[in-house]
Amino acid sequence: MPRRPSVPFALPSLSQRLVVPVVCVSVTFIAIVDGAITTVALPSIARQFHLTTAALDGVVVAYPVCLAMAIPASAWLVERFGGKRVLLAALAGFLGSSLLCGAAAGLGQLVAYRAVQGLSAGVLFPASAALLFGTFTPAEQVRVSRYMIIPQQIAPAAAPVLGGLLVDHLSWRWVFYVNLPVGLPAVLFGALFLAGDRGGRPGRFDLPGLLLSAGALGTVMFGVCEGPNRGWSSPAVVVCLVLGAVLLAAAVAVELRTAHPLLRLRLFTDRLFRDTNLINLVGLIPIMGALYLGPLFLQQAQGRTALESGLTTFPEAFGVLLTVQITGALYARVGPRLIVGLGLAGVSATLVLLAGCDAGTGLWTVRGYMFLFGAAIGCFFIPTTVASLATIDRADLAQATMLNTVVRQTGGALAPAAVTTALVLGTPSGAAAAPPVAAYQHAFLALAAIAAATAVFTFTMPDGPARAAARAAAAAPGRPALLRRRRDRVDA
């Protein structure tokens, strides 16, 4: 009787509609936690290296500066080498630099390894977003985002608590080592089950565009991050902001004249894409600013512990998780304009409530306000992201998600700078080391005004194409799903 030929071991076939969200959630969780957890360890790092906490400024600033510099190249890399290769290579670089950060023997090494972390994260965010939005239709993106936003909200809320536990019971090095237990399984899972693509031919690499855009974003980010600490009139900050503006103008001029630009700025001629990105840029200032200001108010103005502060701001995440379920159900019916506009109006109203808090306000009152704040911002993130890509061709998805990342990172960097500046202006002595309660109240009101102005602009946004795309995708879900299942089997 003839022997049957041996069959090599075959991995089970998994749908990309499952694999891609799992990998993207892991990547997002790691990057967000790493960005929020490091500040908790700064006092311990300062004691280890016999430095002042202020001397560790480079550890904090190197990450966002290098992240901003790496973002422009991410779309070209995804188009050239494929999303799987780029994402896994960036994640491996991020984990390797995390290991090196934990093993750093001095401040210079730590800053250098943090810079590598930032460069890796600058590729991670756009690559994971491009994979996600290339896998699902607009209607499906809303549904998937309702679940993916869970780790995005839990990560920044849990990071300070986790960081405090690691620093207190192990050492500051574990705020970097903690990335490995989550990241290594994600690399292995992605390598085994992510569908590979060989990339394409996006055109000649635009080196002048990279140098100009990376230089512009890096110098602007440095100026924005350092402005509140050194003073907006300090020579270093002024030089960086002016130089960044000049480089940015040069980058725009060069990219608009290049046949295959690294940054397809012509995408901003699409009004929906332009308006949603402007709303993201300005709207993130009061949202991220309040999340930055809240713990400062609780710990400095009210004298609460870090644990009390974390547990008090944590209800914000529950508010988000509640609202995104409603948002997902209503998106195709009412469109992003009404949802985002009302959400920003709610943000403004809640910030006014927070501005009424003083040193004697109870924690449960603040927790209630933070829950309402979360419910309001739950109307912001998913609709703006999905609507920004509603009218973008599939071939431009990598570029569009990269530009979205640039805008969000810039808005996120402007938020703490705006808060710190408001606190300095509200402090009679001009020093924000110990601002009075009134300074925090004025800062909340300033953020409320920005949110209100953004809400007014949002109500002028034309969202007809976004509603049409969502309704069309929701009306015929069977055929895209069938085609995608066939593609998944072929890829496997």
Residue 4 lies in a domain: no
Cβ-in-10-Å burial (0-12, 13-18, 19+) of 60 comes to middle
Which residue, of 245, 261, 277, is where some domain finishes? 261
Residue 85 confidence (pLDDT) above 70: yes
Same domain, 211 and 310: no
Residue 485 lies in a domain: no
CB-hemisphere CA count at 13 Å for 18? 8
- Tens of pLDDT, residues 445-476: 999 999 999 999 999 888 777 777 666 655 55
Which residue, of 236, 261, 286, is where some domain finishes? 261
Same domain, 243 and 316: no
> What six digits make up the tokens of 91?
């994640």
Residue 484 lies in a domain: no
The rounded distance, in Å, linking the Cα atoms of 187 and 190 is 5
What is the model's pLDDT at position 429?
65
Percent of residues, the chain, with pLDDT higher than 90: 10
Q: Which of 209, 203, 199, 177 is nearest to 89 (CA)?
A: 199
Which residue, of 199, 228, 246, is where some domain finishes? 199
Q: Report yes or no on whether pTM surpasses 0.85.
A: no
Q: Which amino acid is at 47?
A: R
Residue 170 lies in a domain: yes
CB-hemisphere CA count at 13 Å for 53? 8
User: Which H helix or E strand runs over 85?
Assistant: helix 83-102
CATH of the domain at 120: 1.20.1250.20
Residue 191 lies in a domain: yes
- Tens of pLDDT, residues 94-122: 999 989 988 888 878 888 888 888 888 88
Range of the domain at 336: 266-477
Same domain, 227 and 188: no
Phi, psi of 67 (to 5 degrees): -60, -45
Q: Count of domains in the chain?
A: 3
Helices (H), 231-335: 235-257, 271-296, 306-313, 315-334
Residue 131 confidence (pLDDT) above 60: yes
- Tens of pLDDT, residues 205-264: 777 877 888 888 778 877 877 777 777 788 888 888 888 889 888 888 888 887 777 778
Residue 486 lies in a domain: no
Same domain, 61 and 162: yes
Residue 389 lies in a domain: yes
| Mean pLDDT over the full length of the chain | 78
Same domain, 243 and 271: no
